[in-house]
Amino acid sequence: GLELVPVDEVRYFLADQKYVTVCSGEGEVLIDETLKELEDEFPGQFVRIHRNALISLGFLEGMEMSTAGHYQVRLRGVEDRLTVSRRHVAGLRKVMARL
């Protein structure tokens, strides 16, 4: 079936193999769009933090260092922390400075 998820409720997109998981306040849904397509479709609403993850700027609370030495983001309404790749840390800091 078809399930509509309002884009302003999306916390993050997480790619895994051929599909992308959409995590929202209502739960998770699989879609077959690529992260690149989603970045292009919603510029300024989502930022890439890893080759497999886009996060919503509207739910971004902060970035912190984990005990393992990796950066992670805190998202409002999301219990798990998402890992920020070393490659995307500087870009995320610039985006956060503008918020």
* Residue 24, token pair as written in the block: 């929202």
CA atoms within 13 A on the CB side of 82: 30
pLDDT tens-digit map of 41-95:
998 999 999 999 999 999 999 999 999 999 999 999 999 999 999 999 999 999 9
Report how far residue 57's alpha carbon sits from residue 61's, in angstroms, rounded to the nearest whole number. Answer: 9
pTM of this structure: 0.93
